[in-house]
Amino acid sequence: MEARANKKKETELAKREYIEGYVDPDSGMRIWPSIREVAKRHGISYENLGRKSKKEQWTVERDQFRQEVEQERKERVMDQIAGVGADLDLAAVEIATTGLQRLNKFMKQADSSEVYTIAMAAKTLHQMGRLACGESTDKNVIDVGEIKDVKQRLLSKVNSFAQRKQETGAN
């Protein structure tokens, strides 16, 4: 009776190993063994394990498991990319806001020969801020009301991002 229980337990372990694979301790990579390899590792008859796996459709379960693992991996990568993207957007907003503030101060002291250079820098910083907010930069005309509106949205984004960072305890 005990031998039968051990055989059943070993078969269940073999099934799990076949479906989920295992992590190679040397390489850290997930290994997807064949039925023959699993049978050998667990001391089970290849023919019996092959029949059981075919009858219970282990390959279908394995394919589903692999798809789930791959989907989870993709989601983790996308979360990381989104985090990096948010950090880049915040940095761009901060650069644009700081740059526009400095240009505003500089503009008060500038002579007429520097106005064009300041305007081009302001336009570039404005476009950077708009891109960080997910807005189009196709427009070539910038009106003052729009700049104030974009500035307000940029500051709002910066404040909400800073608040989220503070709530999560991030630096």
| Span 64-75, pLDDT tens digits | 999 998 999 889
Q: Looking at per-residue confidence, does 51 or 85 come out higher?
A: 51
Give the mean pLDDT of the chain. Answer: 79
31 has which bridge partners? 22
**pLDDT score at 131:** 75
Q: Looking at per-residue confidence, does 76 or 98 come out higher?
A: 76
**pLDDT score at 148:** 57
Give residue limits of the domains in the chain. Answer: 2-56, 71-168
The least confident of 36-45, 95-104, 162-171 is: 162-171
- For the cut 60, the answer to whether the pLDDT of residue 143 exceeds it is no
Residue pair 52/27 in contact by the 8 Å Cβ criterion: no
Q: What is the DSSP string of 67-98?
A: HHHHHHHHHHHHHHHHHHHHHHHHHHHHHHHH
CA distances to 36, 43, 114, 120, 131 from 83, in Å: 43, 47, 38, 31, 17
Residue pair 158/94 in contact by the 8 Å Cβ criterion: yes
Q: Average pLDDT in the 53-79 region?
A: 92
**pLDDT score at 13:** 93
Residue pair 40/31 in contact by the 8 Å Cβ criterion: no
Q: Looking at per-residue confidence, does 83 or 159 come out higher?
A: 83
Q: Looking at per-residue confidence, does 145 or 94 come out higher?
A: 94
* 3-state SS assignment for residue 25: coil
Indicate the pLDDT class of residue 120, thresholds 50, 70 and 90: confident
